Amino acid sequence: MPSKNIVAIGGGGFGRSLGSLEIEKYIVSLTNKKRPKICFLPTASGDSSLYKLNFYRAFSKLDCITSHIDFFSRTENLEEKVLTQDIIYVGGGNTKSMLAVWKEWNLDKILLNAYEKGIVMSGVSAGAICWFDKGITDSYAKELAIIDCLGIIEGIACPHFDEEKEREPYVSDVIQREIIDSCICIEGNCALHIKNNIEYASIDFGNGKNCFRVTRENNIVKKEIL
């Protein structure tokens, strides 16, 4: 059976600045290939041209065979493209809109198949939470919300946990009110590596950044470092 990997990044990486490409190198290393094929899905940003440019600049430096998929111009054969990759990388932006487009094109089913085949799944922000049952998103203009995601990994995830001041109070509130039982919260410049659905590792590529499991015990909200 192939090893299955998801790398969910809470914030940072090539989308902001190329920098040292530390988390990108980590993702590439999971393939154990000299020149892995990586495909970028910039759907959540509306297929932003600048975002795509930064992707090509970053992963070309790491000697990857790079490509991307557009949904807002002519779209190629998705199954053929996705299932021939070593890595899928999903960019940030509007998670709700991204998932709606993907489902219309049946990409949700294709990505699950790719994951089961051992293709590394990765991404930042929208591209971090999309793999979980549910995610906490700022897709709506005036409030955070919990939305259904792809359901490849169990649980609820929240990115930007230390970067956006409304995130931690929102998570605490929905847990305290028993709307959700727990939440995996990922800080900026940190990623959660989930291997074979059961092994969880926090990857700090900032300065002492963490992933947390936030729960409620005896009416007190608790944060446990993953």
| Segment 107-144, tens digit of pLDDT | 999 999 999 999 999 999 999 999 999 999 999 988 99
First-to-last alpha carbon distance for the chain, in angstroms, is 26
CATH no. of 5-225: 3.40.50.880
Mean per-residue pLDDT of the chain: 96
* pLDDT at residue 56, as a whole number: 97
User: How far is residue 179's CA from residue 221's CA, in Å, rounded to a whole number?
Assistant: 13
| Confidence (pLDDT) at 108 | 97
Residue 15: pLDDT above 90? no
Query: Would you say 153 and 132 are in contact if contact means Cβ atoms under 8 Å apart?
Result: yes
**Annotated catalytic, 193?**
no
Backbone angles phi, psi at 47, to 5 degrees: 60, 45
User: How far is Cα 157 from Cα 160, in angstroms, rounded to an integer?
Assistant: 10
Q: Where are the beta strands (DSSP E) in 10-131?
A: 37-41, 65-68, 87-90, 120-124
Q: Is 160 considered catalytic here?
A: yes
pLDDT digits (tens, 9 = 90+) for 24-55: 999 999 999 999 999 999 999 999 999 999 99
Q: Which of 45, 48, 160, 193 is catalytic?
A: 160
Task: Locate the domains of the chain by residue range.
Answer: 5-225
- Rounded to whole angstroms, the Cα distance separating 139 from 126 reads 9
User: Choosing from 45, 48, 122, 125, which is the catalytic residue?
Assistant: 125
What is the 3-state secondary structure of 70-86?
Answer: CCCCCCCCHHHHHCCCC
Tell me the per-residue pLDDT of 159-189, one tens digit each, with 9 for 90 and over: 999 999 999 999 999 999 999 999 999 999 9
**Over the stretch 84-102, which tens digit does the pLDDT of each residue have?**
999 999 999 999 999 999 9
Task: Give exposure, 17-47, as e/b (b: 16+ Cβ within 10 Å).
Answer: eeeebebbebbbebbeeeebbbbbbbbbbeb
Percent of the chain with pLDDT over 90: 92
Q: Residue 19: its pLDDT value, please?
A: 84
Q: Tell me the pLDDT band of 9, cut-offs 50, 70 and 90.
A: very high
Which secondary structure element, helix H or strand E, spans residue 129, and what is its range?
helix 126-129
pTM, rounded to two decimals: 0.96
Calpha distance 141→175 (Å, rounded): 22
